[in-house]
Amino acid sequence: MWRTLQNRSLWVGTTRQYSRIRPPPPAGAQPVIRVSNNIAQLGGPKEGPKPRQLLSLPPFPGLPLPGKNSLTVPGRPPHVTAISWVKYYFDEVHDSAVQSHFNKGLVQTKCSSFGDTSSEKKEKTKPMRKIQPNEVMEKGTRVYIPVSVAESRISRRFDTIPSGTLYPNADEIAYLQRLVHYKDSAILVLNKPPRLPVKGHLPVHNSMDALAAAALSYDYDEGPKLVHRLDRESSGLLLMGRTKEGISHLEWLFSDAKVKSSCKAWNEACEATYQRYWALVIGSPKEKEGLICASLSKVLLNDGKTERVILAHQSGFEASQEAITEYRVLGPMINGCSWLELRPLTSRKHQLRVHCAEALGTPIVGDYKYGWFVHRRWKQMPRVDIEPTTGKPYKLRRPEGLDVQKGSVLSKVPLLHLHCRELVLPNIAKFLRVLDRKSEKQDPALSSKPDLLRFVASMPSHMKISWNLMSSYLV
């Protein structure tokens, strides 16, 4: 019986008569008899698991975490467990999704110490192990988790405000209020959608500052004011001040010249302030982590009207501003693109876009102003890919009910893939009385509030589609 089956498989291989129902077994693989519904069939061996794209979390910084109280147990020092660290990093993901990844054993770890390059090289060769959810995190420990933990349901919302009037109607007011991520007596945090201008001028009426002043005043006499800006094409967390005192302190916080206050808690909170962006770039940096120190300068194009930001030359004859950016590669390169995490240490116009395009040589997808030369040569994501394990064509699984032509990597003209994902800043409302010298003590009603506030915003729809499309065949 077995020889007959072997001879039959050889005969099929020589004449190359493929079945319409089942593909032929891989070359060099022994045929396997499978029984299904009392019917024996001859086929290839069972395919192994597909490789997973692992998302690398930053090294555990140790305690205290910004905006989070550590778990305290009587008789033991404060600590943070592995599941608490993952939930802290993915604040916008449901706890059940994080718990499910731990239950399936998909969360892994690989420890390394800060500043020891030799140990880091040794750790790269070591295999990763599964980490338990209740395992205590140590400083410098890295956690690796599949990118599926960051996938979330794509909300069907407008990318821009329906109309462009200076005085918003009821629908526009309701839309703007849905964008509000956080609100207290001093600040207002919004999750800005792409293609919505932040600062208006004569030809632009539906800008964020003009509409927010009319729609987001709530019970205040005046509307909120912008503290820092995002590009029109970018998305993410946008900070606004609600009072004159709060606006002045926030502007001081994002300025270069800072003078320490007499309040020690305020100074420590200011030092812990940071922003993190997620960006999809064409290519991948040579180093997985690094610090970009490249000054920027502004020039006018030949038309005399268009302004452009470029890397400053070392001649010293032109005005320039210092610009520093930390970057980190989140995962492997897929279809010629890779995800980066960017942390600007200075606030310059188009800083992240210029640093990615000119300093790293990996422009952001959809950035035609600073990466047009790479977009001309870029081969966009194909609709059919090859499985790395078997070499067979594999069709990418697309989210059902979504139009992939709306700005994702499959679109002919993708939108800018730059998103302000995380923001950590001091609790202005808590320190306001001390900073204004109205009282040496904080507001008793706010004394129990944390010194730091941390916000995480989900990606816009076109970036979520690109994320799902690029990671669907690896996860």
In angstroms, the CA 188 to CA 204 distance is 23
231, 303, 367, 385: which one is catalytic?
Answer: 231
Gyration radius of the chain over CA positions: 26
Contact present, 226 and 198 (Cβ < 8 Å): yes
- Enumerate the H helices of 104-235 as residue ranges: 117-125, 170-178, 208-215
Q: Residue 64, preceding bond cis, omega within 30 degrees? A: yes
In angstroms, the CA 317 to CA 327 distance is 29
Length of the chain as a residue count: 475
In Å, how far from its chain's centre is CA 457?
A: 9
Using alpha carbons, select from 44, 432, 456 the residue that is nearest to residue 242: 432
In angstroms, the CA 45 to CA 31 distance is 7
CB-count exposure of residue 428 (10 Å: 0-12, 13-18, 19+):
buried
In Å, how far from its chain's centre is CA 326?
A: 14
* Contacts with 108 (C-beta within 8 Å, 6 or more apart), sequence order: 54, 128, 129, 130, 131, 143, 144, 145
CB atoms within 10 A of CB 37: 4
231 is a catalytic site residue: yes
Task: Determine the 3-state secondary structure of 197 from DSSP.
Answer: coil
Residues marked as catalytic: 231
